[in-house]
Amino acid sequence: MTKKTILVGLDGATFTLLDPFMQQGVMPFLKSFVEQGVRADLRSVTPPLTPPAWTTVLTGRSPGHHGIFDFFQADGPGSTTIRLATSGDIQVDHVAELVNRAGQRASVINFPVHFPPLPIDGAVIAGWMPWRQLRLGCYPPDLYDRLKQLPDFNPRELAMDMALEARATEGCDEDEYVEWVGLHIRREERWLEVLNYLSDNDPTDLTAVLLDGPDKVQHLCWRFLDPALWPAQPTAEETRIREASIGYYRRLDTILAALVEKAGPDATVVMVSDHGFGATTEVFHVNSWLEQAGYLAWSQDVSDELNEGDTLGMGHLSRHSRWLDWDRTKAYVSTPTSNGIHIVRAEQHDGRGVAAADYAAFRAELIEALLSYVDEDGKPVIAAVATREDAFDGPAGALAPDLTLTLRDGGLVSILPADPILAPRPQPVGTHRPLGVFMAAGPGIRQGAAIGEMSLLDVTPILLHSLGIQVGDDLEGHVPTGLYEPEYLANRPVDVVTRGDAGKVQPAKSAGQVIYDEEAEAVLMARMRELGYVE
Find the mean pLDDT for residues 155-173: 56
Instruction: Based on the fold, state whether residues 321 and 363 are members of the same structural domain.
Output: yes
pLDDT of residue 525: 65
Q: Which domain holds residue 357?
A: 281-428
- In this structure, the answer to whether residues 185 and 312 fall within a common structural domain is no
> Is 535 a domain residue?
no
Per-residue confidence band for 78, with pLDDT thresholds at 50, 70 and 90: confident
Question: What's the CA gap between 337 and 486, in Å, rounded?
Answer: 42
Residues 72 and 174 both lie in one domain: yes
Cα angle 254, 250, 37; round to 5? 60
Domain with residue 232: its CATH number is: 3.40.720.10
Give the span between the Cα atoms of 41 and 134, in whole angstroms: 34
Looking at residue 509, what is its pLDDT? Answer: 41
Output the average pLDDT for the chain: 89
Q: Are strands 38-43 and 454-455 parallel, antiparallel or unpaired?
A: parallel
Question: Which of residues 408, 428, 448 is at a domain's end?
Answer: 428
Q: Could you tell me which of 43, 56, 5, 59 has the C-alpha nearest to residue 437?
A: 43
Measured in whole angstroms, the distance separating CA 244 from the mean position of its chain's CA atoms is: 24
d(CA 467, CA 100): 11
Helix (H, G, I), strand (E, B) or coil at 209: strand
The pTM for the full model equals 0.92
The verdict on 117 and 187 lying in the same domain is yes
Task: Render pLDDT for 227-272 as a digit per residue (tens, 0 to 9).
Answer: 999 999 999 999 999 999 999 999 999 999 999 999 999 999 999 9
Q: Are residues 87 and 185 in the same domain?
A: yes
pLDDT class of 483 with cuts at 50, 70, 90: very high
pLDDT tens, position by position, 337-349: 889 999 999 999 8
Cα–Cα dist 258/272, whole Å? 17
Same domain, 173 and 236: yes
Q: Based on the fold, state whether residues 257 and 320 are members of the same structural domain.
A: no
Let me know whether 270 and 325 are in one domain: no
Q: Are 494 and 466 in contact (CB under 8 A)?
A: no
E strands, 100-161, in order: 106-109, 122-125, 138-139
What per-residue confidence (pLDDT) applies to 511? Answer: 37
- Domain membership of residue 19 (yes or no) is yes
- pLDDT above 60 (res 166): no
Which CATH number is 364's domain given? Answer: 3.30.1360
C-alpha to C-alpha distance for 144 and 142, rounded to whole angstroms? 6
**Looking at residue 528, what is its pLDDT?**
61
CA dist., res. 40 & res. 259, Å (int)? 21
For residue 200, give the amino acid letter. D
* Choice between 450 and 180, residue whose per-residue pLDDT is larger: 450
Run of H or E including 347 = none
Which stretch of 140-149, 164-173, 394-403, 498-507 has the lowest confidence by average pLDDT?
164-173
Asked whether residue 200 falls in the same domain as residue 216, the answer is yes
**Do the Cβ atoms of 277 and 16 come closer than 8 Å?**
yes
